Copies of this chain bind each other. A is one copy, B any other.
């Protein structure tokens, strides 16, 4: 297989944790496959999580902050902070992006959310393409990161049953939908089904071997696996500008799943 570029954005405070071990394992497997791997270790980088006026190196910094407007202007004039621009360059370099994190409160740790909030500037992560009553931007299948692949690697203390179709936490694919669809498919990524390790409170050697064996297969197929078939915004299935599925579009079931074919 051709050598590809893989960016792992990793969010766990403890290098010797299960997450740290899985991150190291992923690097090893991907490099053995011949890929080039770059890791953004957010805790090690002391990543700044909060969006604020310091993110935008603009003249009028004492004016009231309008996040969207400042983000747009700073991105266009290359006056975002260097930490943010470095991550944007890594994204452009990557053929595949992996977010690796423990599921905390049914979402990602704050530090990773802060990576998205800051790196996805207007004009880069959103606000791409024509926005009018006839066209609502290049997004959900199109955008800056189109043609690249993305994968979540997630650990959770809960059981697989707790995250099943009738499990109390809600179906894991629904819990991850705002990330897979709203954060990754949105700027154009092809999104793979997530890799989730359950019941991670006490992992013995046997269980770790099982998890890594499954993860190895997942990583070996990073550029081969079929992505989640989300519907593309601009492929004719949605009304513009209300962005509702057209009446003629038959869906299976209810909830987030109607947005995939």
Q: Is the CB of A50 within 8 A of B259?
A: no
Complex partner residue of A243 from B52, B161, B233, B242, CB under 8 angstroms: B161
**Of B174, B182, B242, B253, which is within 8 A of A256 by CB?**
B174
A47 to chain B minimum Cβ distance, whole angstroms, is 8
Asked if A170 and B117 make an inter-chain contact with CB atoms under 8 angstroms apart, the answer reads no
- Name the interface residues of A193-252: CB closer than 8 Å to any CB of B: 201, 233, 238, 241-245, 251
Could you tell me which A residues sit within 8 Å of B by CB distance? 13-17, 43, 47, 49-53, 64-68, 102, 104-111, 113-114, 116-117, 120, 140, 157, 159, 161-162, 164, 166-171, 174-175, 177-179, 181-183, 201, 233, 238, 241-245, 251, 253-259
Chain B residues within an 8 Å CB radius of A254: 253-255, 257
Q: Across the interface, which residues of B come within 8 angstroms of A17, CB to CB?
A: 64-66
A110 partner, pick from B50, B64, B245, beta carbons under 8 A: B50
Number of this chain's copies in the assembly equals 2
Q: Which of B64, B161, B255 contacts A255 (CB 8 A)?
A: B255
A74 to chain B, nearest CB (A): 14
Instruction: Given contact pairs A107-B178, A140-B168, enumerate 20 new A-B contacts (beta carbons under 8 Å).
Output: A13-B50, A14-B53, A14-B64, A14-B66, A43-B50, A49-B114, A51-B104, A51-B109, A108-B113, A110-B111, A110-B113, A114-B114, A161-B243, A162-B242, A167-B244, A169-B182, A169-B243, A174-B177, A178-B178, A253-B254
